[in-house]
């Protein structure tokens, strides 16, 4: 099973130079806990350069009593980003997630351009479908 068969093409992204407050509003408005931080590679493609989570904002900004209005996304984003190619196997993806204790990964193409995002939930839903199919096959025997 390949990542390209199950990943979400609706990744929420933001430019690293955007005001941090814009990222917080984006997360609030779209009901997401994180955004993929990108930089433009050309007119139509973006490269993931970091991740920003709601927890980053709480711990790094609010927890340190910083003025959110004076910060940009790049000031607090995590630059230790792990991506997965869309042609990778989902078991490889699961292994990365397990080792790094993460639940979401940006999906990129062969050139490193952002194509979407895959979550542990995406993988579990797909595996549940496989298990359900196996159960049906076993019932037929």
Distance between CA 66 and CA 99 in Å, rounded? 32
Burial of 11 (0-12, 13-18, 19+ CB in 10 A): buried
Domain boundaries along the sequence of the chain: 3-140
**pLDDT at position 126, please?**
85
pLDDT band at 39, cuts 50/70/90?
very high
Q: How much is the average pLDDT of 31-51?
A: 94
Task: For 60-111, write each residue's pLDDT tens digit.
Answer: 999 999 999 999 999 999 999 999 999 999 999 999 999 999 999 999 999 9
Q: Residue 141: pLDDT above 80?
A: no
- φ, ψ of residue 114 to 5 degrees: the values are -65, 135
Q: Indicate the CATH number of 3-140 among 3.20.20.70, 3.10.580.10, 3.40.50.300, 3.40.50.10490.
A: 3.10.580.10
Distance between CA 71 and CA 63 in Å, rounded? 14
**pLDDT at position 134, please?**
83
**How is residue 42 written in tokens?**
């050309």
> At 112, is the secondary structure helix, strand, or coil?
coil
């Amino acid at each position: 099973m390949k990542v390209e068969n199950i990943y979400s093409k609706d990744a929420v992204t933001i430019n690293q130079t955007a005001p941090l407050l814009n990222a917080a509003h984006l997360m609030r408005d779209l009901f997401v806990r994180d955004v993929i931080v990108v930089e433009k590679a050309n007119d139509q493609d973006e490269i993931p350069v970091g991740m920003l989570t709601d927890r980053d904002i709480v711990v790094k900004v609010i927890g340190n009593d910083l003025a959110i209005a004076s910060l940009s996304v790049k000031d607090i984003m995590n630059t230790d980003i792990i991506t997965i190619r869309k042609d990778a196997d989902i078991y490889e993806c699961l292994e990365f997630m397990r080792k790094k204790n993460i639940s979401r990964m940006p999906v990129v193409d062969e050139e490193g351009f952002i194509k979407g995002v895959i979550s542990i939930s995406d993988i579990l839903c797909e595996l549940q479908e496989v298990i359900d199919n196996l159960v049906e096959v076993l019932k037929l025997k």
